[in-house]
């Protein structure tokens, strides 16, 4: 992968992978703040791990709401998500094995 992925980034990547495709939906899925979400989404786009596209303005206008930006993982984003998730599981597993036993 080459770049470390933090838990916030992993949570956002997983939310997108799991079908949460626009900002407010990602906010709800992760419980993170808007500033964190949108900064991370911008960074992930620069890394080419996600692609964001704006919806048709007519759709938002017909629903009387602001336009949404929809996100999807790129192939590189899929790989980064899988690798980060594996690494997170390894870290959790190794942390659990260091815990003192309660005999």
Domain count, the chain: 1
The reply to whether 30 falls in a domain is: yes
| 55 or 100, which is more confident | 55
The reply to whether 34 falls in a domain is: yes
Q: What is the CATH number of the domain that holds 47?
A: 1.10.10.10
Would you say 20 and 29 are in contact if contact means Cβ atoms under 8 Å apart? yes
The reply to whether 100 falls in a domain is: no
Residue 54 bridge partners (DSSP) = 69
What is residue 97's predicted lDDT score, i.e. its pLDDT?
A: 60
The reply to whether 60 falls in a domain is: yes
Q: What does the pLDDT look like over 34-83, one tens digit per residue?
A: 999 999 999 999 999 999 999 999 999 999 999 999 999 999 999 999 99
The reply to whether 102 falls in a domain is: no
Q: What CA–CA distances, in Å, run from 83 to 13, 19, 31, 90? A: 11, 19, 23, 11
What is residue 1's predicted lDDT score, i.e. its pLDDT?
A: 46
Q: What is the model's pTM? A: 0.82
Count other Cβ atoms within 10 Å, centred on residue 46: 9
The reply to whether 11 falls in a domain is: yes
Q: Where are the alpha helices (DSSP H) in the chain?
A: 7-17, 23-30, 34-46, 57-62, 75-97
What is residue 66's predicted lDDT score, i.e. its pLDDT?
A: 95
What is residue 90's predicted lDDT score, i.e. its pLDDT?
A: 85
> Which residue range is the domain that position 42 belongs to?
7-89
Would you say 45 and 51 are in contact if contact means Cβ atoms under 8 Å apart? yes
The reply to whether 61 falls in a domain is: yes
């Amino acid at each position: 992968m080459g770049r470390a992925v933090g838990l916030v980034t992993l949570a956002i990547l997983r939310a997108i992978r799991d079908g949460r495709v626009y900002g407010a939906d990602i906010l709800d899925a992760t419980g993170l703040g808007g500033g964190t979400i949108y900064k991370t989404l911008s960074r992930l786009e620069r890394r080419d791990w996600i692609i964001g596209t704006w919806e048709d303005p007519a759709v938002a206008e017909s629903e009387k709401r602001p336009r949404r930006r929809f996100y999807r993982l790129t192939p590189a984003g899929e790989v980064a998500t899988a690798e980060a998730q594996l690494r997170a599981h390894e870290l959790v597993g190794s942390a659990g094995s260091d815990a003192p036993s309660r005999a």
